[in-house]
Amino acid sequence: MIKVTTLNGKELVINAELIETVEQTPDTIITLTTNKKLIVLEDADDIIDKVIEYKQKIFSPPENSTPLNPTLF
């Protein structure tokens, strides 16, 4: 999930997994896989950075995790 801001200043949290395209015209238009379009204040590079940060958080091991013992498998 990432936070974006609509043109009227309303903050939305959207599912980053549903983003299909991000267009940078004068405005930034996010198209979701549901065909819903959102016009947001953030530019395309900011959206990309937010998605990368989100994916790194969900796919990185927890900081205090111990690796699995391969001899158990």
pLDDT digits (tens, 9 = 90+) for 25-69: 999 999 999 999 999 999 999 999 999 999 999 888 777 766 666
| Secondary structure, 3-state, 33-54 | CCCCEEEECCCHHHHHHHHHHH
pTM check: above 0.85 = no
pLDDT greater than 70 at residue 4: yes
Q: Which two tokens stand for residue 51?
A: 């998605």
pLDDT of residue 61: 75
Measured between alpha carbons, how far is residue 62 from residues 8, 22, 32, 66, 70 in Å? 37, 30, 29, 9, 18
What is the rounded CA–CA span in Å between residue 64 and residue 34?
37
pLDDT reported for residue 60: 82
